[in-house]
Amino acid sequence: MLKLSPLACAIALAWPAMLSADEAAFDDDRDGAQLERIEVRASGLRRDVVEMAGPVSVLSGDELVRRTEASIGETLKFEPGVHGNYFGPVASSPVIRGLDGPRVQVIHNGMSTGDVSREGPDHTITADAITAQQIEVLRGPATLLYGSGAIGGVINVVDNRIPRTALAEPETVLQGRFNSAAAERSLAFAHDSAAEFLAFHADGYYRKGNDYRVPEYQSDEGFRSKRLDNSWSDHQVLNLGSSHIADWGFVGISYGYINSEYGLPEGPQDPLDDDDGELIKLNQQRLALAAEYRPQHANWELLTADLAFTDYDHAEYDEGEAETEFTSKQWELRLTGTYLLESGWRGIVGYHGTVRDYEAVGEEAFTPNTDTDSHAVFVLQERSFGDLKFEFGSRYERLTQKAAEVEDALGVRDIRDPFNLFSWSVGAVYQLTDGHQLTAAFSQAQRAPAANELYANGIHVGTRSFEIGTAYRVTHSDGQTEILSDASLSKAEKANNVDLGVRGQLDSVQYQLNIFYNQIDDFAYLSNLGFAIAGFDAYQYRQDDARLHGAEASVRWQLAPDHQLSLMGDLVRARLKDGGNLPRIPPFRLGAEYQFTADAWSAQLGVMHHGRQSKVAANETPTDSYTLVEAAVNYHFHWQHWELMAFAKAQNLTNQLAFVHSSFIKEDAPLAGRNLTVGMQLRF
């Protein structure tokens, strides 16, 4: 049974905390609350937020500029149900309803980012918010369109890299910002133009920062620091794209290049230690093609094709030497057709295929070289019956993992693991009255464990641990450890998820509430074994039945035309069926934000309270609660023919020492202390 009392108290008492951008689902209508029509590209059928049976958030416009941080996880961490796993400010990935890693699919314009961020919390996501037009968050399973890697949710970063329409006039956006915590400076640009039937796009950014300032804290060895040691970063990104635009649709191509270096954060170090620390250097090149065709057919509305090739490489350095190198070459193809039947059913049918060649080379390569082939077909359709909109979908996926030279105590062998995965969902949106909706969704989704979850067997430098996959049997006695391969221990996860919600507006109050229950059989999780191997804490991916349930709520009250109060809260409880808690599960949050708007000005003041997490797994320590205060201001003005926006954001105003429970290195990496971000955006 769901225990919602903390959330109920949060809403009743309006405990202060920062509002998330879930408000993006509502229009800022000063004369009365009204639901806004925001298209969600990741929905497949490109439905509006208010047409979705599952909970969706969209971050865009000035709110996206205000929330943008150095990683997707930090940018989205104020969304209801979304936290960050915080491996420092650069490598922070989203945690959705307690699920992260390979269960949360991060996509770019509907296609995989092609990086290795799902294989480890120290690996950064190559999609970035600073040049994005909007970021869409689909909470709960979204496996039908995006595969088993979306069993926990989808983050879709949308930009205009491949233009879909031709602008009448060229448009350029420039943005510069500075953050005081790390003396971080960034410059970004995006340009769109057109000539005849050709459209052009270019964007890119440069970002560089030093080690972050934090409130003073102490390591287990007694060393103290006011910096998050080795949290520096240096990134350069360039993207180019062009499309041929016609009445029948478009066909386009894009090329992207990323060069990035960043340190892996460490706790306070001995001042006499001159070790530069561990760092990651990564490069990625990405070539993508996209096409849309409107056939002017009675039944077929739209045919699309997307093809992407990603060449990714990153190396982990220690004391100036490359100890481990990860490479990933991936082809991805998606073909879809949107149809409308005479019976009133509207839907999408498609094929989704991925071929990936993953290699890890070096003395501390903890995963074997693995080829992954995935081929899937899917269908999603919907129909309205008066005030009820009904949707149904299904997906069949054949996924094969082929690992080379898997080593254990008995020797070396090649392993081939095929998985047949079937997922389906059913959902409904019921219009109670004008402006009030009930939503319900049930899904059954299957996921094959990722390569590192299956075959990891070695030292992972980034997480400073010895990782072991599910495909091994581990025995430890008298200080001796034996690791033997056993393929029977690896199974596909099976999740049964129920999501219920209500949303709408009542006079000047807009609200949204969702509750969920997720039963996952053979859930793969990284567990601390309680002993060390080769001087590193030993962790193994284990598979047990798990239960996750919780709720998310947000309320926005238009006190007066220029004054607004927003409240939010979320919680998730995650346990093993046979007893015990899952590790690194975020605590509950409670919050509020006050916003003032006048002419060209807007200002916000908010507080976010993160509860104490004492419901911990074996060999895991509790994490204290903390409260963060934030203030921001935006100012729009014109200069000649240019539109400008100046913005400033002050975070952690009370300079509180805060540790993130969902972080793999929480004791070593506190959040940044009091800091100020200032910047300007120019549009012409």
Does pLDDT of 89 surpass 80? yes
User: pLDDT value at position 409?
Assistant: 66
pLDDT tens for 244-294 read: 999 999 999 999 999 999 999 988 988 877 777 889 999 999 999 999 999
What pLDDT, on the 0 to 100 scale, is given for residue 18?
32
* 326, 311 Cβ separation under 8 angstroms: no
Tokens standing for residue 515: 């509750």
Q: What CATH number corresponds to the domain at position 544?
A: 2.40.170.20
The per-residue pLDDT for range 340-379, each reduced to its tens digit, is 998 889 999 999 999 999 998 887 778 888 999 999 999 9
According to the model, what pLDDT value does residue 442 have? 95
Looking at residue 36, its pLDDT comes to 54
Q: What is the 3-state secondary structure (H, E, C) of 105-167?
A: EEEECCEECCCCHHHCCCCCCCCCCCCCCEEEEEECCCHHHHCHHHCCEEEEEECCCCCCCCC
Nearest to 407 by CA among 343, 349, 483, 303: 483
Residue 494 near residue 521, CB atoms below 8 Å: yes
CB atoms within 10 A of CB 297: 11
| Residue 98 and residue 582 in contact, taking contact as beta carbons nearer than 8 Å | yes
The three-class DSSP label of residue 540 is strand
Reply yes or no on whether the pLDDT at 7 is more than 70. no
Q: Which residue has the tokens 């079937």?
A: 422
Q: What percent of the chain clears pLDDT 70, i.e. is strictly above it?
A: 94
**Under 8 Å between Cβ of 587 and 98:** no
Say if residue 95's pLDDT is above 90: yes
Beta bridge partners of 412: 407
User: pLDDT averaged over the chain?
Assistant: 88
Which of 270, 136, 264, 148 has its CA nearest to residue 663? Answer: 264
Give the integer Cα–Cα distance in Å for 251 and 104. Answer: 29
| Domain range for 136 | 5-683
Which of 233, 283, 291 shows the shortest CA–CA distance to 256?
A: 283
> What's the pLDDT at 366?
81
pLDDT digits (tens, 9 = 90+) for 28-83: 333 333 445 678 888 877 777 777 878 888 999 999 999 999 999 999 988 999 99
Contact 664, 121 (CB under 8 A): yes
The CA-atom distances, in angstroms, between 348 and each of 43, 299, 379, 482, 574 are 10, 11, 6, 50, 34
What stretches of 527-652 show up as alpha helix (H) in DSSP?
none
Task: Tell me the pLDDT tens digit for each residue of 101-125.
Answer: 889 999 999 999 999 888 888 889 9
pLDDT tens per residue, range 610-667: 999 999 998 899 999 999 999 999 999 998 888 999 999 999 999 999 999 999 899 9
Task: Yes or no: say if 673 and 214 are a contact pair by the CB < 8 Å rule.
Answer: yes
Q: Each residue of 398-438: pLDDT tens digit?
A: 999 998 887 766 778 788 889 999 999 999 999 998 889 99
**pLDDT above 50 (res 316):** yes
| Residue 334 · residue 110 · CB < 8 Å | yes
Q: What pLDDT digit, counting tens, does each position of 464-490 carry?
A: 889 998 988 899 988 888 888 887 788
DSSP class of 669 = -
Q: Please tell me whether the overall predicted TM-score, pTM, comes out greater than 0.75 for this model.
A: yes
Amino acid, single-letter form, for residue 476: H
Whole-angstrom distance, CA of residue 440 vs CA of residue 419 = 29
Q: What is the domain count for the chain?
A: 1
Bridge partner residues of 156 (DSSP) = 107, 136
Q: Enter the DSSP assignment of 450.
A: P
User: pLDDT-derived band of residue 15, with 50, 70 and 90 as boundaries?
Assistant: very low
What would the two tokens of residue 282 be? Answer: 């990564």
